[in-house]
């Protein structure tokens, strides 16, 4: 870990090497501790650290980039010069209005000392507890436990100056029998917030209860989606259309729906980079404050998220959603409003349907409506007369996620934080949907 003073000093040094009209430099640093396990035992311990400088250089309407993790004076100077030379090779972009003016950012506390300095022995204790649960039921248990620190900092020739450090923790568990599998995942910025014993029980119970699944016919079924499946829906909606670039280019599911009632009124979705109930980061890769954006309110589609470039094209302000050094703006700390039903009540209200704990290998089939194709996995069960009666073989689906959320009947009252990777998180409850389109049975 660099710390605020050292990180900003490093960026100041890089800034001083530049002769460009404008320049900004984004530092991304990570110290990672990772324990991977399989066959009921840890097979790999990793300790990894890296600091990367990402440089943007401006000449008129041209923008060039360079990246380095060589932090020597010569390495930094070479990267700054490369960014400038790359700028001169780029065509002019008339929509580019220059680097953003500095804007005051808030601070958020997402630092936990115990998580930052978690030892391999602590992770091993967690893994041991999980594996012992699987042994009791003759399951093959695998997965990974990680902890660490993420630092970001931004300085620019226009006066931007920002720094943030946060911790992260995550646990992924896979359990397998001869005919079934289970899966559980927990994450956040505080290791103590992860109920690792409960996650182990969750993964084990899915594999135990999912033994000897029965095939069901494809077709449309009412479904109860647990939090991992709901997370997949929000992640897809974010990646394929909540960003303003996709809207401006006409390839977002939001196109033609802004201002319209596209989903059930029970659906409210927002992005808030400073909310500590997620994985908060107060500013983006441009140093802009991450503003709360009400993406969906009571089923009505409101607005996408912006970086400085897309905001300039629309004549508005950046919402602070340049998540990475390159690429389009992304809503990456998403929340779905909880309802007032327990998971038991969601299942109990279903006469005949399917309980899905997780989607797997989902891919975009069509941008309009955010039509996705994928499959269920690691715990799929038949619901009959309000009761889970037996496991079913996994099903393949092709389904519009927008249409699926239009069919929300009930929303769970308990939400779960799911950290998909460092920098992308959702907090979501379970959902009951009136209809979901299954097109085939997996082998």
Rounded to whole angstroms, the Cα distance separating 244 from 259 reads 15
Average pLDDT over residues 429-435: 98
* Contact of 428 with 230, CB cutoff 8 Å: yes
Close Cβ partners of 103 (under 8 Å, ≥ 6 residues apart): 160, 287, 288, 289
Answer yes or no: CATH 3.30.2290.10 is held by domain 4-209.
Answer: yes
- What was the pLDDT predicted at 255? 97
Could you count the other beta carbons within 10 Å of the beta carbon of residue 108? 18
In the predicted model, what is the mean pLDDT of the chain?
Answer: 96
Q: Which pLDDT value is given to residue 187?
A: 94
Tokens of 214: 């029965």
The answer to whether 165 touches 148, Cβ cutoff 8 Å, is no
The closest of 249, 304, 238 to 95, measured between CA atoms, is: 249
The predicted model scores a pTM of: 0.96
Phi, psi of 346 (to 5 degrees): -60, -45
Percent above pLDDT 70 for the chain: 100
Distance CA 292, CA 152 (A): 20
Q: What is the pLDDT of residues 266-299, one digit of tens each?
A: 999 999 999 999 999 999 999 999 999 999 999 9
> Helix, strand, coil % (nearest 5) of the chain?
25, 40, 35
Domain ranges of the chain: 4-209, 219-441
Instruction: Kindly tell me if the per-residue pLDDT of 422 is higher than 70.
Output: no
Confidence at 442, pLDDT banded by 50, 70, 90: confident
- Identify the band that residue 5 occupies on the pLDDT scale cut at 50, 70 and 90: very high
Structure tokens given for 4: 């605020």
131 in helix, strand or coil? helix
| Pair of tokens at residue 336 | 């779905």
Of 358, 224, 333, the C-alpha closest to 269 is 333
Give the model confidence (pLDDT) of 42-57 as tens digits.
999 999 999 999 999 9
Residue 420's pLDDT is what?
82
Burial code (b: 16+ CB inside 10 Å, e: under 16) for 208-226 equals bebeebeebeeeebbbbbb
* Per-residue pLDDT tens digits for 64-106: 999 999 999 999 999 999 999 999 999 999 999 999 999 988 8
**C-alpha dihedral (132, 136, 140, 143), degrees to nearest 10:** -30
150 class by beta-carbon count within 10 Å (0-12 exposed, 13-18 middle, 19+ buried): buried
Lowest mean pLDDT among 157-171, 256-270, 323-337, 409-423: 409-423
Neighbours of 432 (CB within 10 A): 25
């Amino acid at each position: 870990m660099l710390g605020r003073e050292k990180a900003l000093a490093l960026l100041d040094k890089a800034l001083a090497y530049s002769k460009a009209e404008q320049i900004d430099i984004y530092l991304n640093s990570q110290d990672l501790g990772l324990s991977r396990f399989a066959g009921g035992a840890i097979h790999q311990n990793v300790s990894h650290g890296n600091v990367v400088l990402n440089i943007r250089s401006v000449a008129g309407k041209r923008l060039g980039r360079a990246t380095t993790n060589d932090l020597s004076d010569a390495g930094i100077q070479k990267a700054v010069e490369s960014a400038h030379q790359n700028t001169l090779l780029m065509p002019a972009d008339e929509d580019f209005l220059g680097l953003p003016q500095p804007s005051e950012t808030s601070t958020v506390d997402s630092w936990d000392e115990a998580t930052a300095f978690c030892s391999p022995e602590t992770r091993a204790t967690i893994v041991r507890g999980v594996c012992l649960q699987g042994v009791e039921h003759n399951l093959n248990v695998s997965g990974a436990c990680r902890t660490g620190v993420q630092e970001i900092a931004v300085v620019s020739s226009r006066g931007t100056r920002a720094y943030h450090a946060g911790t992260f923790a995550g646990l992924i568990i896979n359990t397998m029998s001869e005919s079934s599998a289970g899966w559980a995942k927990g994450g956040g910025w505080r290791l103590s917030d992860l109920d690792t014993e409960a996650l182990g029980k969750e993964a084990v119970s899915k594999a135990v209860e999912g033994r000897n699944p029965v095939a069901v016919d494809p077709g449309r079924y009412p479904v109860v989606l647990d939090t991992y499946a709901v997370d997949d829906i929000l992640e897809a909606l974010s990646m394929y259309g909540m960003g303003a670039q996709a809207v401006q280019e006409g390839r977002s599911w939001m196109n033609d729906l802004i201002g319209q009632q596209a989903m059930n009124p029970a659906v409210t979705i927002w992005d808030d980079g400073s909310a500590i109930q997620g994985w908060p980061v107060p500013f983006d890769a441009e140093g802009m404050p991450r503003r709360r954006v009400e993406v969906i309110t009571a089923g009505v589609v409101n607005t996408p998220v912006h970086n400085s470039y897309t905001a300039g094209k629309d004549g508005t302000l950046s919402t602070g959603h340049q998540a990475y050094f390159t690429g389009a703006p992304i809503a990456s700390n998403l929340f779905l409003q909880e309802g007032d039903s327990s998971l038991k009540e969601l299942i109990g209200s279903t006469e005949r349907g399917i309980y899905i704990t997780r989607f797997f290998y989902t891919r975009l089939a069509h941008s309009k409506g955010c039509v996705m194709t994928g499959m269920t996995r690691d715990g799929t069960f038949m619901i009959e007369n309000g009761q889970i009666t037996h496991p079913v073989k996994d099903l393949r689906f092709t389904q519009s996620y927008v249409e699926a959320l239009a069919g929300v009947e009930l929303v769970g009252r308990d939400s779960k934080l799911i950290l998909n990777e460092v920098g992308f998180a959702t907090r979501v409850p379970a959902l009951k949907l009136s209809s979901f389109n299954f097109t085939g049975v997996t082998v």
